[in-house]
Amino acid sequence: MESSASSSTLWLQITSGRGPEECAWVVYHLAERLEEKAHEQGLRSHRVHEEPGSSKETLRSVLIEVEGEGVEGWASHWVGTVQWIGRSLFRPTHKRKNWFVGVELLEPPPDVPSVQEKDLSVEVYRGSGPGGQHRNKVSTAIRITHQPTGIVVQAEEERSQTANRRRAMARLEQTLQTRGEVQEKRASQQRWSQHNALERGNAVRVYRGERFRLVRASELSVS
């Protein structure tokens, strides 16, 4: 039986946002779990991009392409905030035991590029909001204007300029595919609500301990 007719491709980005190294450790292990589960479902995956952390087994963010039949339904159970409960592996005396990362669904760019570099105006700026000394000293946020349409997208969640540019470009491609003003606004609000949820819980998955054991997932629990 042919499955290619209903096969789809999407991107899942796992990010520590502006979280500390503990969150980067969670990103690293969550990416491994996500890929394992994808393969168990008969889906294909590969890492499009990684932003390494500063310690062993840490990633600030990772962008994973997943392809196969039924991938949209499978991916819907991963999108949102993911919580890890455990003592810090980097600061043993630290009292905090709850750490959060985010999983965001992004549309991959089309096979035939619809955006040309000459049509883009790219600005680099310092992100606003919390983030400590790093965000005060280094300009890593990206704002891209697509001159033919006037569409403006931006990204400032990540700590590196490269990662923010990749995220902004993905948003631009997605916006160009759904040009209507109402659709664009709705998509933007949905994306940002996922980022806002990162700091405040409502976890779709909860893991515990150094073995990264799953203790709750939204599709398995009503609470």
- The string of DSSP codes covering 173-198 is HHHHHT--HHHHHHHHHHHHHHHHHT
pLDDT of residue 210 exceeding 70, the answer is yes
Q: Confidence class of residue 128 from pLDDT cuts 50, 70 and 90?
A: low
Q: What architecture (CATH level 2) is domain 4-115+181-217?
A: 2-Layer Sandwich (3.30)
pLDDT of residue 175: 79
Instruction: Tell me what pLDDT residue 189 has.
Output: 55
Q: What is the mean pLDDT of residues 1-14?
A: 69
Q: What token pair was written down for 49?
A: 């991009």
Q: 148-166 burial string, b = 16+ CB within 10 Å, else e?
A: eeeeebbbbbbbeeebbbb
Report the pLDDT averaged over residues 188-196: 51
Note the pLDDT of residue 199.
52
Q: What is the pLDDT of residue 15?
A: 92
Share of the chain above pLDDT 90, in %: 53
| Boundaries of every domain in the chain | 4-115+181-217
Average pLDDT over residues 25-54: 95
